[in-house]
Amino acid sequence: MAEEAIDTTECDTYGHAWYETTNQGRLRPEYGIPLVLRCERCSRMRLDVIHPLTGQLISRRYVAPFGYVRYKKGERPTKSEFRLLLLKTHESRHKAAAG
C-alpha cells in the first residue's frame, strides 16, 4: 500500500488544510522561530522559519509524503480541471454508497 499514490485532488482544488504541529527537530534554524504545519488530508508538511522580531518569513520549504503526485512543468491540471476531477470523485463515492 505504501506505493499507492496519495489522492490530493481535494488539496489541489481547495488548498491544503494546514494545522500546526510540533517541530520534532525537523527545523533547526541558525536564526528564527520554526513553524511546522501539516496538511490533515494529504500529510504534506510546510516548514517555515519566522523572524522573531519582524514576523517576516525567513525560509519556507515543503516536504511531500511518499506517493505524492508530482506534476512535471506545464503538466499540472488547472483549477477548473481539478474541480472536474473532484466532481468525478464525488460521483463514484455516491455510486459506491448506493451499492
The residue count for the chain: 99
Does 11 bind Zn ion (CB under 5 A)? Our answer is yes
Q: Which DSSP helix (H) or strand (E) runs through 11?
A: helix 9-14
Residue 14 near residue 3 (C-beta atoms within 8 A)? no
Name the DSSP class of 68: B
Binding to Zn ion, residues 24-83 (CB under 5 A): 39, 41-42, 44
Q: Which is nearer to Zn ion, 52 or 66 (CB)?
A: 66
Name the minimum Å distance from CB 68 to Zn ion: 9
Q: How many residues of this chain bind Zn ion (CB under 5 A)?
A: 6
Cell output for 44: 504534506
Binding region for Zn ion (CB under 5 A): 11, 16, 39, 41-42, 44
